[in-house]
Amino acid sequence: MDTVHACFEEKIGEVLLPGDVFSFRLPESGDGSIKTGPGLRRNGEEVQVYKSGILRHKQPNMYWIDSQQRRVRVLDSHHVIGIVTAKSGDIFKVDVGGSEQASLSYLAFEGATKRNRPNVQVGDLVYGQFTIANKDMEPKLVCIDSCGRANGMGVFGADGLLFKLSLGLMRRLLAPQSEIAKDLEKIFPFELVVGMNGRVWSCENMTSQQRQTLFKRVAEGSL
C-alpha cells in the first residue's frame, strides 16, 4: 500500500491484537505522515500494535487503540485536570494521577508576569495541557495555548465535584456530539470538565424546583 492511511482505513472500528503489524511507504513529499497514539508504535516503515482494542481515527492523521485500562498514559498536548499539591519557588507541583507529579510555572498562565503572579493555592484544581509528557523527563504543564491565551485553561472548580472515570467512559464523554452528555443535559443543567487523565469535574446549575423534580423522578424510578 502506498500510505498507512489506506491500510488503516480498512481496520478502523475493528479489534486489533498485540503483534499485528502494518507496513507502509511514505510519499517523498512527506504528505500522509501519521501520528500514533496509545496502543500503536511506529518503527521505521511499520506500525506495530502492542495493545489489544479497537482502532480509532481522528482527522486528519491521528490513530490509536481504544481499550479498557487502569493506567493513565498521557501524551504531549493532552489536556488534564490536576490538583496543586505544593509550591516550590516559582514552580507549582501538580498531581495529575500519574507516578510522578507535574511541574507548572507561575508564568504559564495568561497575563502572568513577575509582578503580576496568578493566585494559585495548594489544593486548587487546574485545567492545563502537557508540553512535556515523556517517561524520561519530568512532566510539564501549562495553562496557555501557543498564542499565550488561556482558552479555557487555568484555575477552576471553586464549587462542584471531582471524581474519576474509566478511560473508556472518559473517551466517550470527549467524543464530538457525545450521547452521554446529551442524555445528561436532558435531565438537569450542568457544567462538565473532562481531563484525558480520567478525572472529571462537574457542577450542577439547578434551581430548587429543578432539584425537587429530579429527586421525585429518582424516587419514582422514572430515570
- Mean pLDDT across 111-138: 87
Predicted local confidence at residue 128, as pLDDT: 93
Least confident of 22-31, 77-86, 118-127, 161-170: 22-31
CATH of the domain at 119: 2.40.50.140
Residue 132 lies in a domain: yes
Per-residue exposure over 196-208, b if at least 16 CB sit within 10 Å of its own CB, e if not: bbbbbbeebeeee
Predicted local confidence at residue 125, as pLDDT: 94
Predicted local confidence at residue 70, as pLDDT: 59
Residue 94 lies in a domain: yes
Top mean-pLDDT range of 19-23, 121-125, 196-200: 121-125
Residue 30 lies in a domain: yes
Same domain, 130 and 82: yes
Task: Please state, in angstroms and rounded to a whole number, the distance separating the CA atoms of residues 152 and 9.
Answer: 33
Residue 108 lies in a domain: yes
DSSP-based three-state secondary structure for 53: strand
Last residue in a domain, options 156, 171, 206: 156
Last residue in a domain, options 156, 185, 209: 156
Range of the structural domain that residue 208 is part of: 161-220
Which residues on neighbouring strands pair with residue 200, listed in sequence order? Answer: 163, 194
Same domain, 7 and 47: yes
Q: How confident is the model at residue 72 (pLDDT cuts 50, 70, 90)?
A: low
Same domain, 91 and 142: yes
Last residue in a domain, options 103, 133, 156: 156
Residue 72 lies in a domain: no
Top mean-pLDDT range of 92-101, 121-130, 214-223: 121-130
Copy the grid coordinates of residue 109. Answer: 498562565
Same domain, 86 and 143: yes
Residue 71 lies in a domain: no
Least confident of 13-17, 47-51, 60-64: 60-64
The pTM (predicted TM-score) of the whole model is 0.66
Give the mean pLDDT of the chain: 80
Same domain, 108 and 95: yes
N-to-C CA span, the chain: 50
Same domain, 150 and 169: no
Same domain, 88 and 125: yes
- Pairwise pLDDT comparison (99 vs 210), residue with the higher score: 99
Residue 73 lies in a domain: no
Same domain, 83 and 147: yes
CATH of the domain at 22: 2.40.50.100
State which H helix or E strand residue 187 sits in.
helix 179-187
Same domain, 184 and 128: no
- Considering its fold, how many domains does the chain have in total? 3
